[in-house]
Amino acid sequence: MTCRAVVIGVGHYLPERVVPNSELESILDTTDEWIRARSGIEQRYFAAEGETTSSMAAAAAREALRSANLVGDDIDAIILATSTADLTFPSAATMVQSAINMTHGFSFDIQAVCAGFVYALSNANALIVSGQAQRILVIGSETFSKIIDPSDRSTYVLFGDGAGALILERQEGHGTSADRGILSVDLHSDGRLRDLLYVDGGVSTQTTGYLRMQGHQVFRHAIEKLADTAVNALTKAKLSSYDVDWIVPHQANIRIIQGTARKLDLPMDKVVVTVQDHGNTSAASIPLALSVGVSRGQIEQGHVLVAEAIGGGLAWGSVVLRW
């Protein structure tokens, strides 16, 4: 028998404030048509005053716990993927641990920008397979509205806030691609490309800074690298694109999503798309899309999913799992 990390619960949270493209027309030299044509985004959500990455993460975590009929103390570990933690330290994950009344185990943040949730899933899978945890709460949560420059229309129109969470549980499988759970992981990074997407502030500068992006270069790398990592992960799982029920991509840009699907020879009706409603929520985008896909009735037990993402670093990767 083989140990697998199986999804048993999922949930998400979005702030109350909806920011449609029409609102941005009044503060930027842009139009709804321009934003839709270049990104596919129609609206995004911005966190309220006092609403934080950890508070949104805790709300998503509670939804995931409810869906699995569990409570905080049923969880052994929390891994929270974020680039916008509330404080330099302690981790936002420990704040979630307290908020859900989890009184044992361990919690930590992981930072790989938009690829963070894929990295978090990889770490959670390793902890479960190695026997260090029975159940792990994996969360992606971001307040990117705090680090986007309101004078830069090329980035300000793209990003939003939100959180998504899922619960992985150790279960026995047969060691084949027919097992439920995470079947393979493929991770990469290349620090030589760090200047393509970064924030120009941090602890060493004693400033928060703003997100800076070379959009055309990121676009070019994204389609190539996302398709390659998806193929690598499917090969490791002894599957092919023909076995895939759903691609659940990082929701950055509809043109990147479409380009990646074409490279994988998969139709768009096999892609979970939420970018039009949420914008780019960085590490939160994949768990948000998973939760929405389940609530829509798209993702069902037994389906083969490929979750793929690329972000600053550049860091990228994918996970193949059977729901």
E-strand stretches of the chain: 2-13, 17-20, 43-46, 77-81, 106-110, 135-143, 161-173, 181-189, 197-199, 211-213, 246-249, 304-311, 315-322
Nearest to 175 by CA among 142, 129, 242: 129
For residue 195, give the 3-state DSSP assignment.
helix
Sheet holding 161-173, edge to edge: 2-13, 161-173, 135-143, 77-81, 106-110
- What CA–CA distance (Å, rounded) separates 323 from 307? 12
Catalytic residues: 114, 250, 280
Tell the burial category of 184 from Cβ atoms under 10 Å away from its Cβ (0-12, 13-18, 19+). Answer: buried
Compute the distance between CA of residue 263 and CA of residue 53 in angstroms, rounded to an integer: 34
Token pair, residue 121, equals: 């899933």
Helix, strand or coil for residue 166?
A: strand
Sign of torsion over alpha carbons 234, 239, 241, 245? negative
Q: Would you call 275 helix, strand, or coil by DSSP?
A: helix
Residue 76, φ and ψ in degrees, nearest 5: -95, -25
